[in-house]
Amino acid sequence: MNDWQRDWPAPAKINLFLHVVGRRADGYHLLQTVFRFLDFGDTIRCEPRSDGRILLANPLPGVAPESDLTIRAATALRAATGATAGVTLHVEKRIPMGGGLGGGSSDAATTLLALNRLWRTGLDSLQLQSIGLALGADVPIFIHGRSAFAEGVGERFTDVTLPAAWYLVLTPAVTVPTHAIFGSPALRRDTPAIAAADWRPGFGHNDLEAVACSLYPEVQRHLDWLRQYGDARMSGSGACCFVEFVQESAARAALAALPADMRGFVAAGIDRHPLVKPFGS
């Protein structure tokens, strides 16, 4: 298939834990987390244009085109490389907005990865990550493309090996603005840091969870329901929350038992972004 005709995957992510370990002088929070991708996400198709414009075929309701991360990513790549080509971006959304699953960041990263290839701009992963970091703190992990322990503002990575797992992810019908969580005076910002080598599956918690639950009781209600199955946690700054299963059948049985007023999906954890090649390939 011609690359201009293909669908480019933009997978969701979950944060297996998320600690706020400090705050920089410029206001950015210092984090420690482990990112894992899911075999669930958005897709993007790129349509070439001859007029040099960068457009979104299906703008998100309430989001100005110039604020959309996919438009910003394409514009930033062109500015960084001197490319002049235009593109229409067709984004098929499945990842909920404001859910802590990294949908906008993943879409931006996939836009960078796709257009770097389609426009033949030739940037390597670190160069694309640098462009991505200016768009948002979660964009670089999707370009890095492997399960990783992340530090700093979320841009310094140590790859980790994770056991196979399935996740039941619940998607409360609320949008949690990231700034509302990080701006809260109730947010704990002094969790002790650990060395990446000391992290183990099951460690830690999500420091943002208590604030999100206090502001959005629906998040707390979904977490409470999930906890009958194990150590349920919120992902990122919310509102989505998840619990881990060893077997797909158990995850799907829990999904089938979901109350009628709750929504969710089952997905496998994946160790590599679909667009990132294995080492040595």
93 assigned to active site:
no
124 assigned to active site:
no
Based on C-alpha coordinates, what's the Rg of the chain? Answer: 19
Question: Tokens 């229409």 identify what position?
Answer: 88
3-state SS, residue 17: strand
Question: Residue 81 has which token pair?
Answer: 């490389």
3-state SS, residue 86: strand
3-state helix, strand, coil in the chain (%, to 5): 30, 25, 40
Give 80's contacts (C-beta < 8 A, 6+ positions apart). 123, 127, 131
Q: Which of 7, 13, 42, 207 is catalytic?
A: 13
Give the separation between CA 168 and CA 176, rounded to whole angstroms: 20
Give the separation between CA 281 and CA 277, rounded to whole angstroms: 6
Q: Which of 42, 107, 138, 207 is catalytic?
A: 138
Residues with catalytic function: 13, 138
